[in-house]
A and B are shown apart, each in its own frame.
Chain A
Amino acid sequence: MKNLHHITVALNFTEGEANLQKFKKMDFLKKANLRLLHLSQINDYHFIDEVDVTLYPAKEAKLILEQKVYEKLNRFREELIRENFLGEISCECRFTKSPKKEMCQDSDKRRVDLAVMFASDKYFGSFIQYQLEHSTSFALVVKS
Chain B
Amino acid sequence: MTFPQVTVIAVDSAIAASLLAPVHRMEFLADSEIHMVQMIQKVQFGDGLSFNVAFALEEDESVIEKAVISKMEQISKSILPYTFTGKIHYKCLFGDEPKADFCEYLKQVKCELVLIGSRQKHGLFESSFAKYVVRHAPCSSFVLKPREI
- B-binding residues in A (CB < 8 A): 1-4, 22, 25-28, 113, 121-122, 124, 128-129, 132-134, 136-143
Contacts and interface: CB of A to CB of B under 8 A. Distances in A.
A137 B121 CA distance: 8
B138 A141 contact: no
A4 B22 CA distance: 11
Contacts of A132: 118, 124-125, 131, 134, 143
B139 A2 contact: no
A121 B138 CA distance: 7
Interface residues of B, number: 28
17 contacts: A1-B26, A1-B27, A3-B149, A28-B28, A121-B138, A132-B124, A132-B134, A133-B122, A134-B122, A136-B122, A137-B145, A138-B147, A140-B141, A140-B142, A141-B134, A141-B140, A143-B138
A138 B144 CA distance: 5
Nearest to A142: B140
B48 interface: no
A138 B140 CA distance: 13
Nearest to A124: B135
Given A2-B27, A27-B2, A28-B2, 16 more contacts: A1-B26, A3-B25, A25-B3, A124-B134, A128-B134, A129-B125, A132-B124, A132-B131, A134-B122, A136-B145, A138-B145, A139-B145, A140-B141, A141-B134, A141-B141, A143-B137
Nearest to A140: B142
